Structure 1
Amino acid sequence: MIKSLFTAATLLAMLPARASRHLEKVHEQLTDRADRGDGPIPTVIIVVASVTGALLIAGGLAVLFGRANGRLLDLDFGD
């Protein structure tokens, strides 16, 4: 019982030092890496442009379908 308490107390005492070493390693890795990818502004611009393009295509198709709706109803597909 006393040995397990001593082991637990030792591990708890070592925990802050281990956490500090881990954070130092993480900090070194972050400073060693240069650019980690696109910035947030270009990403937002790309997403907005993609959504706008998709809406324009969908709107154009809706307009074309609306214009051709009367003509499509009169087609006979030979069923």
Structure 2
Amino acid sequence: MKTIRDATTKAAVTATVLAHAVRERLDAIRQEADQGSDRGDGPISTVIIIMASIAGALVIAGALAVLYGKYATKLTGE
């Protein structure tokens, strides 16, 4: 019974510490936003880069699938 109580206490302490860390980080972000400082790349360019990366990966995967389908018998030796 003592180990369950200890585990519950540890979980509560961990949750409290994490909540405090998140609260501090959010406060720091709010202060930085209030100062109007630049945080880096704009969200639109980031989305464009991510979408282009995904599209490129899909094109490469599709090309590999087509090549595998075309040469599957040669690869397996049948």
CA offset digits 1:3-44 (Å, max 9, x no partner): xxxxxxxxxxxxxxxxxxxx8xx54x4454631111110011
| Matches of 2:57 and 2:45, distance apart in 1 | 18
Where structure 1 has 5 or more consecutive residues not aligned to the other structure, the ranges are 1-22
Identity %: 50
Q: If the length of structure 1 is used for normalisation, what is the TM-score?
A: 0.52
After superposition, the CA RMSD in angstroms is 2.3
Q: How many residue pairs were aligned?
A: 50
Matches of residues 11-50 of structure 1 in structure 2 within 5 Å? 27=31, 29-32=32-35, 34-50=37-53
Unaligned runs of 5+ in 2: 1-26
Instruction: Please say which structure displays the higher CA radius of gyration.
Output: 1
Structure 1 segments of 4 or more deviating over 4 A?
none
The structure with the largest helix share of the pair is 2
Taking the aligned partners of 1:69 and 1:30, their CA distance within structure 2 comes to 56
TM-score (norm 2): 0.53
